[in-house]
């Protein structure tokens, strides 16, 4: 039996729409991207959604909005030490300096009690990550941000379906970034989405994703229907706004074919979410019998974990290491992934920032002792039981 980490399918509706788009000859960002943005915003519960080409771009563009609000290149953004490298990469790509904070080992998320000690006059934002769909402690984070007049940008890449105190992740800060990569509950194959309640932020985002153009209408007549735009030659006197650039921007638009895939996923989103939640809850319950050797993140009061994947942490005192377990599972045809790394101390690309091993003990522990497997909608109970059975047999060999 093979347990894959993820799955992807293209719905019949998406295939039909893709063929329609191909026949139309209009493949770049247009009316279907606009429709996808509108429906995505409704799903999350926000006023604005701006589609981009990747989840990393979503983080970077959300941060780049801050330049229109007084931020300067080299200013600081506080992020958790533990995350997929895209989080730290995006801060640097946006022109800011990442300032790392250790995590709470039980939640895998940034430890809010350690945030204020790293705030300086150059700090402009906090970017918490809802790792493995577990909501960060947004009440404390937002209180800190309010005291220090900082922006909060959620990295919600893995947090589809997660809720915190009755609110959806993605609605808990000033902006939020989602990934639409194939491993996620909603996918466009590649892609990302930035969401916000502020129309002025969305205007900036639409400019940023297209090289910093002065064009930033929510509905662009040129993109949607190739019609005449009566605003086009009225920018700054009589300039062509399509070739007037107000800010340093990116090239990160979503295309129509990607939007067509995403629209199909929105049609079946609730069904996927229900199945993945069942799979996650089932594994969380079954793993309890392997305590104290193996643990996972737990659902706290007032929150729902988004069913992105199933995290497993090897605890102190276990007579085996993470690599032994991963090799065993892979030989049993169970696909695994590490549970990321401490970006500043375990990812060589961030070495230039000057952090040293030992600066983030909790993140480094998870970087050495964490792994995760999929809980996707293609997995049935028999797959999950096979996985639990394999874990049991592994532990029997190791703890005799």
| Phi, psi torsion values for 82, nearest 5 degrees | -100, 120
Q: Which of 130, 184, 308, 376 is catalytic?
A: 184
Q: What angle do CA 146, 152, 155 make, to 5 degrees?
A: 155
Are the beta carbons of 206 and 216 closer than 8 angstroms? Answer: yes
Active site residue 184: yes
Which tokens go with 93?
Answer: 């790509």
**E-assigned strands of the chain?**
48-52, 76-80, 82-83, 97-101, 123-126, 151-155, 163-164, 167-168, 175-179, 192-196, 294-295, 303-304, 309-314, 337-338, 341-342, 370-374
Which tokens go with 80?
Answer: 């958790």
Are the beta carbons of 127 and 155 closer than 8 angstroms? Answer: yes
What are the residues whose beta carbons fall under 8 Å from the beta carbon of 121, sequence distance 6 or more? none
Dist. CA 400–CA 391, nearest whole Å: 14
The residues assigned a catalytic role are: 184
């Amino acid at each position: 039996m093979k347990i894959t980490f993820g799955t992807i399918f293209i719905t019949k509706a998406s295939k039909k729409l893709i063929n329609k788009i191909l026949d139309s000859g209009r493949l770049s960002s247009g009316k279907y991207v606009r429709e996808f943005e509108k429906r995505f915003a409704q799903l999350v519960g926000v006023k604005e959604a701006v589609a981009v080409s990747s989840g990393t771009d979503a983080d970077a563009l959300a941060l780049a909005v801050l330049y229109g609000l007084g931020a300067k290149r080299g200013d600081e953004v506080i992020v958790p030490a533990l995350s997929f490298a895209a989080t730290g990469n995006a801060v640097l790509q946006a022109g800011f300096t990442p300032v790392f904070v250790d995590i709470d080992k039980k939640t895998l998320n940034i430890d809010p009690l350690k945030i204020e000690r790293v705030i300086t006059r150059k700090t402009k934002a906090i970017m918490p990550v809802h790792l493995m769909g577990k909501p960060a402690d947004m009440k404390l984070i937002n209180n800190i941000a309010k005291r220090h007049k900082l922006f909060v940008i959620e990295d919600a890449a893995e947090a589809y379906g997660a809720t915190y105190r009755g609110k959806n992740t993605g609605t808990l800060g000033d902006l939020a970034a989602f990934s639409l990569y194939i491993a996620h509950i909603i996918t466009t194959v590649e892609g990302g989405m930035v969401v916000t309640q502020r129309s002025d932020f969305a205007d900036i985002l639409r400019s940023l994703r297209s090289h910093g153009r002065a064009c930033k209408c929510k509905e662009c007549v040129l993109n949607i229907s190739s019609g005449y735009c009566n605003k086009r030659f009225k920018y700054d006197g009589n300039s062509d706004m399509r070739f007037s650039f107000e800010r340093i921007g990116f090239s990160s638009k979503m295309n129509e074919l990607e939007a067509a895939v995403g629209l199909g996923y929105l049609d079946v989103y609730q069904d996927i979410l229900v199945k993945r939640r069942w799979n996650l809850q089932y594994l969380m319950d079954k793993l309890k019998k392997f305590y104290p050797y193996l643990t996972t993140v737990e659902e706290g009061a007032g929150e729902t974990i988004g069913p992105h994947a199933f995290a497993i942490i090897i605890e102190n005192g276990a007579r085996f290491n993470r690599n032994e377990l991963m090799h065993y599972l892979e030989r049993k045809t169970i696909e695994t992934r590490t549970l990321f790394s401490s970006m500043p101390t375990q990812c060589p690309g961030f070495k230039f920032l000057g952090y040293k091993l030992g600066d983030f003990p909790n993140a480094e522990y998870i970087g050495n002792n964490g792994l995760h497997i999929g809980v996707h909608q293609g997995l049935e109970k028999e797959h999950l039981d096979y996985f639990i059975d394999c874990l049991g047999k592994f532990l029997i060999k190791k703890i005799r």
